[in-house]
Homo-oligomer: A and B are copies of this chain.
Amino acid sequence: MRFKFPLMAIGLEVAIIILFFFYVEYETDQTTNQQLNRTNATGADRSMELYPLFQDVHVMIFVGFGFLMTFLKKYGFSSVGINLLIAALGLQWGTLVQGLLHSHGHTVHVGINSMINADFSTATVLISFGAVLGKTSPIQMLIMAIIEITVFAGNEYLVAEQFKASDVGASMTIHAFGAYFGLTVAGVLYRPRLKNGHENEESVYHSDLFAMIGTLFLWVFWPSFNSAIAGTTEGQVRAIVNTYFSLAACVLTAYAFSSLVDPRGRLDMVHIQNATLAGGVAVGTCADMKIHPYGSMIIGSVAGLVSVIGFKFLTPFFASRLRIQDTCGVHNLHGLPGLVGGLAGIVAVALGASDKSTTAMQAAAVGSSIGTALVGGLITGLILKIPILGQPSDEQCYDDSVYWEVPRWREHDRHFHEPIIHKQLEPEL
């Protein structure tokens, strides 16, 4: 850590500023209207209409994802802190890569619309971060952010511009992509000595409550995530309504199956923190389509069910047989529900809920998102294996103190309540 991390962070920031100098400008009214496919009114006014949705997404990225991962008893600083670092780097890099792809190398125009898309691009890395949480260094995460966002932008361009597939809430391009990218990286970085777990890989009571802050802000603002880039205001309202009902239905099945899979019928906080959100992921692809409110509730119900089953049965299987240690269970929150979303999109298009896309193109989008994730994740994993990148040893996993100054006492340290020597107050002069 001593010099590699700070020099890398400074180097990346300097490079990005230089690229911004050459390529990035404010959008004007004209560019706004082009981006939003609108002609009337001023672009600035239209931008401000989107701003509340941007802010909701912004809270999800920094507060939602950040706190969701604080469930580990000794890894809260890293969860919320490295989440902030990744997202802050990612949104700058995402602005550049997405912008240059869409402008074909000409000037990139930034505004509220590009900020939403830049925030979206960081979500892929934050999802993948969940798969390798506790087992990687900040340096490795900076590298992953740069590579993953580049691959994501390429795939998103393919899906949206070439296939013309629908994916308004990004079930495929963000959630499935981010999950399978991260799982592949986790597979490459497999740690055989941790196959029976690690003493730090557990929660304490209050760390689980901190995680619920993340869960609830993600849950509440998910309708904004799925509707922010909808093409029309009508589609936007539909995306909000569908996500609202999908998430509500998902909560009911997540609670029901969390209780059902436990021998004593008790609820599991891991399921509540994660599976209750699967409905937002799964309804993403077809959120703006006319799938009827009951349709979105069916999608949400299935997602909640699938997610809990994944946590209960697939995660252990992944760890033992596939040698993939998925710390946050991103496969169950983003991977499987993302696939459900991709399939729901195919079905919805087949049933005529959209007139913009075809089933073949929707299927191609699923394939492309998974394919680029696996290839990108494999390459990234191999790069991250380079020994000089500061990866923690097996013993140091899931512990903030490797990369952070931690307070003398952590509530869960055994020496927390040992007598301390009271500092003498200085005598008054």
Whether A213 is near chain B, meaning CB under 8 Å from some CB there, is: yes
**Minimum C-beta distance from A274 to chain B (A):** 13
Tell me the minimal C-beta distance from A395 to chain B in angstroms.
7
CA distance A416 to B206 in the complex (A): 13
Q: A3 contacts which chain B residues (CB < 8 A)? A: 260, 265
Instruction: Pick from A154-162, A177-185, A194-202, A362-370 the stretch touching chain B.
Output: A194-202
Pick the contact of A88 from B45, B110, B252, B422 — CB < 8 Å? B252
Cα–Cα, bound, A376→B193 (Å): 59
Is A423 in contact with B259, judged by CB distance below 8 angstroms? no
- Quick one: which of B55, B196, B247, B293 contacts A56, CB cutoff 8 A? B55
Q: For A389, list chain B residues within 8 Å (CB).
A: none
Q: Which residues of B contact A216 (CB under 8 A)?
A: 62-63, 66, 80, 84
- Closest beta carbon of chain B to A346's beta carbon, Å: 21
A234 in contact with B44 (CB, 8 Å): yes
Interface hit among A12-20, A164-172, A325-333: A12-20
Q: Is the interface of A mostly helix, strand, loop or mixed?
A: helix
When C-beta atoms are compared, the residue in chain B nearest to A7 turns out to be: B256
Residues of chain B within 8 A (CB-CB) of A238 are: 26
- Chain B min CB distance to A61 (Å): 8
A 214-240 binary contact with B (CB < 8 Å = 1; else 0) = 001101110010000000111011101
A6 at the interface (CB under 8 A from B): yes
Give per-residue flags for A280-301: 1 if the beta carbon is below 8 A from chain B beta carbons, else 0: 0000000000101110011001
In the complex, residue of chain B having the shortest beta-carbon distance to the beta carbon of A271: B405
Chain B's closest residue to A63 (CB) is B216
Please give, as numbers and ranges, the residues of chain B lying within 8 Å of A349 by CB-CB distance.
none
Interface presence of A143 (CB below 8 A): no
Please name all residues of chain B whose beta carbon is closer than 8 Å to the beta carbon of A410 when the two chains form the complex. 204-205
State in angstroms the CA–CA spacing of A414 and B2 once bound together: 36
Count contacts on A: residues with CB < 8 A to the other chain: 140
Q: Which residue of B209, B248, B290 is within 8 Å of A26 (Cβ)?
A: B290
- A355 within 8 Å of B by Cβ? no
B52–A51 touching, CB < 8 Å: yes
Q: Is the CB of A13 within 8 A of B241?
A: no
Contact assessment for A196 and B248 in the assembled complex, using a CB-CB cutoff below 8 Å:
no
Instruction: Please tell me if the beta carbons of B251 and A85 are within 8 angstroms of each other in the complex.
Output: yes
Residues of chain B contacted by A85 (CB below 8 angstroms): 251-252, 255
Could you say which of A276, A293, A297 has the most chain B C-beta atoms within 10 Å of its C-beta?
Answer: A293
Q: Is A103's CB within 8 Å of the partner chain B?
A: no
CB neighbours of A20 from chain B (8 A) = 245, 292-294, 297
Nearest residue (CB) in B for A32 is B237
B193 touches A426 (CB 8 A): yes
Chain B residues closer than 8 Å to A59, beta-carbon distance: 217, 220
Q: Which residues of chain A from 1 to 50 have any CB-CB distance to chain B below 8 Å in the complex?
A: 1-3, 5-7, 9-10, 12-13, 16-18, 20-21, 24-26, 29, 42, 44-45, 47-49
Residue of B nearest to A404 (CB): B267
User: Can you give 29 contacting A-B residue pairs, CB < 8 Å?
Assistant: A1-B265, A6-B255, A9-B253, A9-B256, A13-B253, A20-B293, A25-B293, A26-B292, A29-B234, A47-B233, A55-B221, A58-B220, A77-B269, A81-B267, A84-B251, A84-B276, A91-B244, A92-B249, A92-B297, A111-B241, A112-B237, A112-B240, A192-B429, A193-B427, A193-B428, A194-B425, A205-B410, A262-B405, A394-B425
Apart from A58-B220, A66-B216, A192-B429, what are 18 other A-B pairs with CB-CB below 8 Å?
A2-B264, A6-B257, A9-B253, A21-B294, A24-B294, A29-B234, A44-B232, A44-B237, A48-B49, A55-B220, A55-B224, A76-B206, A85-B255, A92-B248, A196-B426, A202-B407, A204-B407, A205-B406
